[in-house]
Amino acid sequence: MKYLSILFLILTALILFNCGGGKTNIKYSAEIYYNNQSKPTDENMAASEEFLKLAKRAYADENYGMTINNCENAIDLNHRNWSAHYYLGLAMQKKREYAVSIEAFMVSLKFSPDSKYIKSDLHYSIGLSFERQGDLDKAHQEYVTALNFNSENSSAKTARNRVKIEKTMQNWSRDRQINHGG
């Protein structure tokens, strides 16, 4: 009971701290989390899930700074919390921090359950970040991988086709400039 009281006070303090607004300080380091082999305690896993709930609520409210803070708190308590890495990646996409989002999705992929639907969604998300960075080849690879896991992933189908068209248009434009001396 004493532990729950302390946990409640810590969570309350962190929530109040996160509500303060201002600039988000990103402390995420995929390499640290990816290579960490330690197993989190049951208490840390439970507290991590509480932060994840707060992160999901903040994401739904489009409060991406708070989403990031809560995901980082969840990850600090349980580095294997694949869902916290995933939501962190989603929030980073919204903040146009694509390189960090890719890192977060890759760590999420490492710790994710063996589900073709989850793996498909993660590869789609990685592809979207590559696409937004302008790396259409890597984006296309990720969309194809997403479809290999789940051929019914309509977002991945649409994105793969969009990238194919964009690459075709870029090649057409380049070929036209060469043929017309432009």
pLDDT band at 28 (very low <50, low <70, confident <90, very high): low
Can you give the CATH number for the domain in which 159 is found?
A: 1.25.40.10
Whether 164 maps to a domain, the answer reads yes
Number of domains in the chain: 2
pTM: 0.77
pLDDT at 13: 44
Check: CB of residue 84 under 8 Å from CB of residue 52.
yes
Using CA atoms, how far apart are residues 80 and 45, in angstroms rounded to an integer? 9
Question: What DSSP assignment string belongs to 97-145?
Answer: -HHHHHHHHHHHHHHS-S-HHHHHHHHHHHHHHHHHHT-HHHHHHHHHH
- 119 and 100 in one domain? no
Is it the case that residue 15 has pLDDT exceeding 90? no
- The residue range of the domain holding 104 is 43-112
Using CA atoms, how far apart are residues 175 and 169, in angstroms rounded to an integer? 10
What is the Rg, in whole angstroms, of the alpha carbon atoms belonging to the chain?
19
Whether 71 maps to a domain, the answer reads yes
Check: CB of residue 86 under 8 Å from CB of residue 125.
yes
What does the pLDDT look like over 87-118, one tens digit per residue? 999 999 999 999 999 999 999 999 999 999 99
What does the pLDDT look like over 143-163, one tens digit per residue? 999 999 999 999 999 999 999
When pLDDT is averaged across residues 81-89 and rounded to a whole number, the result is 98
What does the pLDDT look like over 1-11, one tens digit per residue? 555 444 444 54
Is it the case that residue 35 has pLDDT exceeding 80? no
- 152 and 95 in one domain? no
- 105 and 90 in one domain? yes
Packed helices 42-60 and 64-77: angle between N→C axes, nearest 10 degrees? 170
Is it the case that residue 39 has pLDDT exceeding 80? yes
Whether 25 maps to a domain, the answer reads no
Q: 64 vs 15, which has greater pLDDT?
A: 64
Q: Which of 112, 137, 154 is the last residue of a domain?
A: 112
